[in-house]
Chains A and B, each alone.
Chain A
Amino acid sequence: MGRQAARMNVNGKSYARVIDARLTLADFLRHEINLTGTHVGCEHGVCGACTVLVDGRTARSCLMFAVQANGCEVTTVEGLTPEGKLSVLQQAFIDNHGLQCGFCTPGMLITLTELLRDTPDPSEQEVREALTGNLCRCTGYAGIVAAALDAARRLRDADKQETT
């Protein structure tokens, strides 16, 4: 089996490993460097549980080989906030009951982190469309959508306070 060197920055920390060329990025994150927050729900790129940011853009870590992330900046759910704290979005998930079993949640958070970064004032429809790449079987999405809109509001308010 072909082995290759891979070096990447994950959540601000540099990792260098010699790995099987066929190792998926999801398995690398979960089992090589023990960041088990990223989940694998379908292994064919539909459910979105494995979504991470690669160089700032969402990617399915189950459909990427780890070696393809060579030289990239990867952000997982563990890297959304400094340890022990919750982001505005994560707190909004608690307040709006945006999760039940929590398995799809890391992917949801990553997708919405990208959305709120690029679209600070999304409509409900924009939130729902952004979430079509992430399946949730528990919540019926209502709490997730509410959390996203609530977080967007809180982030905009914080922004306003900062600029005034």
Chain B
Amino acid sequence: MGAKHFGARVTRLEDPALLAGRGRFVDDVKLPGALHACFVRSPHAHAKLVSIDSKVALIMPGVHAVITAADLPDSMRTRRLPLLLPNPALATTKTQHPLARDEVCYVGQAVAVVIADTRYIAEDAAAAMIVQYDVLPAISDCRTAAEDNAPHVHGDLSSNVAASFRMAYGDTDAAFADAAHVFTEGLWQHRGGGMAMETRAVLASHDPASDLLTVWSGTQTPHLGRQALADLLDRDLQSIRMIAPDVGGGFGPKAIFYPEEAVIPAAALKVARPVKWIEDRREHFLCATQERDQYWEMSIAVDDDAQILGVRGRMLHDTGAYVPWGIVMPYIASTTVPGPYVVPAYQLDTTVMLTNKVPTTPVRGAGRPQAVFAMERLLDRVARELNIDRTEVRRRNLIQPEQMPYEVGLLFRDGKPLVYDSGDYPRVQEKALELADYDGFRERRRAALDEGRFIGIGIANYVEGTGLGPFEGVTVRVLASGKIVVATGATNQGQGTRTTLSQIIAEQTGCRLDDIVMTIGDTGAIAQGVGAFASRQAVNAGSSALVAGQAVRKQLVALAARTLDVPESEIDLDDGQATSRRGNKPSIGFGDLARLAQGIPGVSLPAGQAAGLEHTAYYTPSQAAYCSGTHVVEVQVDAMTGGVKILRYTVAHDAGRVINPLIVDGQVQGGVAHGIGNALLEWMQYDANAQPLTTSFADYMLPMATDVPTCAIAHVEIVNPLNPLGVKGAGEGGTIPAPAAIISAIEDALTPFGVHFAETPLTPERIVAAMRAAGAYERLFAA
């Protein structure tokens, strides 16, 4: 068997159906008699909800119902959506009601839902709803939210502070007092939305005969969603089945439980018909959670050799109107700053402000790109001020492999001390520089300048805590047909979960990849589950697949040995068959073994034989798995227009053992594209009244095929000692250091003009403004 599956470049099992147009996304699920929903949403960022008049809407032909908060089931009317991640630092635990009751706190907040024969009619009727509001002052900017006389984001909260906390170790005061050099940077960082190509989607159907409520949702976390819905409806878990079928991208925002996931099932119960809601892109801009603004004021203390003595500062985070995921992004950001470097003393004071905008929750990277940007900008500043090469400053400060496991001195978001399990940061950086031909850049720059082109190179390092618990499960069961049925609570929004888990299970059991029938993202298939976030599925579900596969292998071998009457050590499993190495090599198929393991009605099983060939494993990681990497990017900047073209992009990373290089390369490349969007393009803008200004792909720009080069990627595989597969997460590392590396490269390209940047996204107009302020154009035209 060897590396037949694990570690091989196996093409994806998901692909054929998706390529033929036979995928099954929520909107592809057709139920007889299904009705369609359109939400009535607040046009104001902050207002008192005075009255809702549904009379006109209700008499329109084809309209079946209008549901407001008052029409929701008793159990749902007064309750709020779950707070998925409590934290003692939270000053408020406010999440929203499924439908607004008396106050709306962001534009797009759901106020009512219209149920009609078609979406077209539902939209007409939603436009005919008369909702009266008393408009209240709104907070748009998290900096003004902190001012003394600022209006309040919520009428019943006397402060706009959602949380404030300090993350620290070591003696920063002493470090800064004795330092030869102290440098300070003020940074603005914005991230934007997940912008999966499939918008959110919910379909709910109640079967009165079985009292089963089935909900299809384009979610990353169906098991968590089922629990939330059960709580809101006072239903038993087993009377709800939540299914995440094919999901068209996740990237974080689909990991939370949304108002629509509560209201659409409630509507289906109320009208006794299936009800479908498909979010449109404008709604996605208004109502799907995002990441947004952070303001950092950071200082670094170094000695004359650029050795880091301490890092300290403050960070202000815009969390939006509610805290459905608590303070997870600013928390992660504040623990990610030290990264791969030896930082003897560290202190960050974070303030999380409420604003009248859609809540923020993790987007690919989850606060880490901002932390990496802060640290890497400081190191670039040190390099510039002390006139040392940027890569050398980093090299001098990297944690050495012999220091592993390395205890940073903080508590990570998994509740465990932040201890890097393994890694070789100097080697990863060297690998990236070599692949990027860093040494040849000086010559490339000289040649470019001769042609009047400004090119620059940037570098950034990161460490990411991935593979977070609490657990994920995998069931492996052999059927009498010879098929291997697999169920998992892990979910798939494009990561190739089906393929990688199949590789592991085929490797362990000796079954054929084609014989695996996997159910993913269905609460009906496995009792417990968590879902996709924090680059956790290879670690959690992958390890469970390994454990379950090993257990079933043992069962297959034991039963085959008994049946073929040879010792277990003489049995080989391959190609769906158990074969004896003895005599004329008799064999028996997995299907026949499964039939034997079912026994005969009324007849006792032989001693030692369990019922059926199956095992369910729930792997629980002891702590996060820390992956790392280095990005090197080369850009060309048009000095006149501020246009940035990425010429080369190089990634070296350590995600532990690679299960499938095809898929990991795809994750890295896709992650880089997301990072390019964050660095240069994506900006969710609001006006002073917190009205969203960028609500289409014409205003909010995503990277196109001409914006993203094909990356050179090197895997440095350092086995994670803490899980049986030796893996670390790989889903977000492509995104995390990209903005830091790209902004560094742009600044480097414009070295002749002495301009500096401390922001993302860095748009052409901001580059031109900086050039103008630096007097660059006078110099260019004089030349």
Contacts and interface: CB of A to CB of B under 8 A. Distances in A.
Interface of A: 20, 22-23, 30, 34-44, 46-47, 49, 76-78, 81, 86, 90, 93-95, 97, 99-106, 109, 127-129, 131-132, 134-146
A43 B119 CA distance: 13
A138 B670 contact: yes
B563 interface: no
Q: Which of B15, B702, B704 has the most CB of A within 10 A?
A: B15
B603 interface: no
B19 A102 contact: yes
A42 B669 CA distance: 23
Given A128-B706, A131-B705, A132-B704, A143 B248 contact: no
A99 to B, nearest CB: 6
Contact of A138 (B20, B25, B494, B705): B494
* Interface size classification for chain B: 35 or more
Q: Which of B197, B199, B666 has the most CB of A within 10 A?
A: B197
Contact of B198 (A76, A95, A103): A103
B449 to A, nearest CB: 24
A19 B255 CA distance: 38
Given A35-B21, A42-B697, A142-B711, 20 more contacts: A41-B198, A41-B281, A47-B197, A78-B20, A94-B16, A97-B12, A99-B494, A102-B14, A102-B248, A102-B494, A132-B705, A134-B705, A136-B705, A137-B197, A137-B673, A138-B494, A140-B672, A140-B734, A142-B708, A145-B705
Interface of B: 11-12, 14-16, 18-25, 27-28, 30, 120, 194-199, 246-249, 251, 280-281, 493-496, 662-663, 665-666, 669-674, 696-698, 702-706, 708, 710-711, 734
A120 to B, nearest CB: 19
22 contacts: A38-B21, A94-B12, A99-B18, A99-B494, A100-B249, A101-B198, A102-B18, A103-B197, A103-B248, A127-B705, A131-B704, A135-B704, A136-B705, A137-B674, A138-B670, A139-B666, A139-B669, A140-B666, A141-B673, A142-B708, A144-B705, A146-B710
A86 B20 contact: yes
Contacts of A97: 11-12, 662-663, 665-666
Given A39-B248, A77-B21, A44 B705 contact: no
B704 A39 contact: no
B15 A99 contact: yes
Contacts of A30: 27-28
A106 to B, nearest CB: 6
A139 B708 CA distance: 10
Contact of A77 (B20, B247, B702): B20
A140 B711 contact: yes
Contacts of B669: 139-140, 142-143
Contacts, number: 174
A143 to B, nearest CB: 6
Contacts of B494: 99-102, 138
Contact of B696 (A20, A36, A42, A81): A42
Q: In the A-B complex, list the 9 residue pairs whose CB atoms are closest, starting with the nearest.
A: A37-B21, A103-B248, A102-B18, A101-B494, A100-B494, A140-B673, A46-B697, A131-B705, A77-B21
Given A37-B23, A38-B21, A95-B11, A101 B196 contact: yes
A137 B663 CA distance: 15
Contacts of A106: 21
A141 to B, nearest CB: 4
B281 A105 contact: no
B673 A102 contact: no
Nearest to B9: A97
Q: Which of A37, A78, A141 has the most CB of B within 10 A?
A: A141
Contacts of A95: 11
B692 to A, nearest CB: 15
A157 to B, nearest CB: 20
A97 B24 CA distance: 20
A37 to B, nearest CB: 2
A145 B666 CA distance: 13
Contacts of B706: 128-129, 131-132
Given A41-B197, A141-B708, A90 B20 contact: yes
Contacts of B120: 20, 22-23
Contacts of B493: 101
Contacts of B702: 135, 137
A19 to B, nearest CB: 11
A100 B670 contact: yes
B697 A47 contact: yes
Nearest to A49: B197
Nearest to B711: A142
Given A86-B20, A97-B666, A103-B25, A142 B710 contact: yes
Contact of A39 (B12, B16, B198, B697): B198
B697 A135 contact: yes
Nearest to B17: A102
A35 B494 CA distance: 22
Contacts of A129: 705-706
Contact of A101 (B249, B280, B281): B249
Contacts of A86: 16, 19-20
Contact of B708 (A38, A39, A90, A140): A140
B662 to A, nearest CB: 5
B25 A39 contact: yes
A104 B12 contact: no
Contacts of A47: 197, 281, 697
B23 A102 contact: yes
A48 to B, nearest CB: 9
A11 B674 CA distance: 35
A127 B426 CA distance: 38
A163 B121 CA distance: 56
A138 B670 CA distance: 5
A100 B23 CA distance: 12
Contacts of B20: 37, 77-78, 81, 86, 90
Contacts of B711: 140, 142
A94 B705 contact: no
Nearest to A89: B19
B19 A44 contact: no
Nearest to B281: A42
A115 to B, nearest CB: 12
Contact of B11 (A49, A94, A142): A94
Nearest to A42: B281
Contacts of B196: 101, 103, 137
Nearest to A77: B21
Contacts of A90: 19-20
B280 to A, nearest CB: 6
A145 B710 contact: yes
A131 B280 CA distance: 23
Given A34-B30, A128-B705, A142-B710, A93 B197 contact: no
Contacts of B705: 127-129, 131-132, 134, 136, 141, 144-145
Contacts of A20: 120
A101 to B, nearest CB: 3
A81 B19 CA distance: 11
Contact of B281 (A43, A93, A137, A144): A43
A160 B611 CA distance: 59
Contacts of B495: 100
A143 B22 CA distance: 21
B667 to A, nearest CB: 8
Nearest to B700: A46
A128 B710 CA distance: 11
Nearest to B246: A102
A46 B698 contact: yes
B622 to A, nearest CB: 30
B12 A105 contact: no
Contacts of B703: 140
Given A20-B120, A102-B494, A94 B666 contact: no
